[in-house]
Amino acid sequence: MKIARVFPRKTKATPDDDLVFFGYPRINSLLGVDEIHVSVAFTGDKAAGERLADVWYKTGIPVKIGGPAYKQPAGEFVPGLYMKKGYTITSRGCPNKCWFCNVHKAQKEFVELSIRDGWIIQDDNLLACSEAHIKAVFEMLKRQLQKPELRGLEAKLLKPWHIDLMLEVKPSQMFFAYDTPDDYEPLVEAGKLLQGAGYTLKKRKTFAYVLMGYPGDTFENAEKRCIDTLKAGFIPFAMLHMDESGFQDPTWGYFQRSWCRVAAIVASNKEFFK
């Protein structure tokens, strides 16, 4: 089946083939297309996605709208369809039910998928998978020509045997998370394991998403969490809280951006990168 995909916005992960669109139809580009899928990743883009769908319906080609913003189970991962080639997802869902996260609302059960080739692992919680699945993922990564990027790593699940696998594939980046207070001690312990294996801050390979801007949060508290993240051995990557309607507090924009730019973080915190 030939599927055209329409996106409300372009991100680093958006596919870039000839059947990807960001605006309104160009009919001569749709020859032989069987379906049009409007894919919406972010809740705040739902209105824009639905406007696009209304226009694309006029092509006469069947149109479907969906994506993470609609909290729908996604099923098996198809490389290159909704994410650029190189990205891969080997499991769906997360056994945790964090108050700020929509993953468990869309994917009720944590499931392991067929492993498709790619070097950017985009699972919600890779380390929650079985040992056999994780080892199979790393075997796949050994076949890739590019160094892998590992995302969706939960610090409290990190074990020494995971470190051994990482050392074999030499990831360019690894992303953990510091979202709630009880995440911090596991982050510290994970940092010790990684630093013991040579993954120091100076190498700039270990990152941690830091949630900020949620109700009751302050700039002072958020900055402390970012500094504590550096102390644990991770470069903070600030993530601005989004509520159920897709709203993000604009007063946090500048502050959040200042904690997700590596060069700026290094320049302002040189003592951690010596």
- Domains contained in the chain, CATH given: 3-68 (no CATH), 71-272 (3.80.30)
CB 29 within 8 Å of CB 18: yes
Looking up tokens 């972010």 gives 42
pLDDT digits (tens, 9 = 90+) for 231-272: 999 999 999 998 878 889 999 999 999 999 999 999 999 999
The pLDDT value given to residue 245: 81
The overall pTM is greater than 0.75: yes
Spatial CA neighbour of 84 closest among 140, 122, 37 = 122
CB 249 within 8 Å of CB 177: no
Q: Which residue spans within the chain are E strands per DSSP?
A: 3-6, 20-21, 35-39, 63-66, 87-88, 91-92, 111-112, 120-121, 149-150, 173-178, 206-212, 235-240
Both tokens of 50, joined, read: 């639905």
Integer Cα distance of 134 and 172 in angstroms: 18
Integer Cα distance of 159 and 155 in angstroms: 9
Both tokens of 175, joined, read: 């992303």
Both tokens of 221, joined, read: 């508290």
Which residues are CB-neighbours of 14 under 8 A, at least 6 positions away?
A: 7, 20, 83, 84
Q: Which helix (H) or strand (E) holds 194?
A: helix 184-196
Both tokens of 218, joined, read: 């302050």
Query: pLDDT (tens digit, 0 to 9) for every residue of the chain, 274 residues total?
Result: 899 999 999 999 999 999 999 988 877 788 899 999 999 998 889 999 999 999 999 999 999 999 988 888 888 999 999 999 999 999 999 989 887 887 877 788 899 999 999 999 999 999 999 999 999 999 999 999 999 999 999 999 999 999 999 999 999 999 999 999 999 999 999 999 999 999 999 999 999 999 999 999 999 999 999 999 999 999 999 999 988 788 899 999 999 999 999 999 999 999 999 8
Helix, coil or strand: residue 64:
strand
CB 198 within 8 Å of CB 236: no
Phi, psi of 235 (to 5 degrees): -85, 125
DSSP string, 108-157: -S-EE------SEE--S-GGGS-HHHHHHHHHHHHT-SSPPEE----GGG
Question: Residue 263 gets which letter from DSSP?
Answer: H
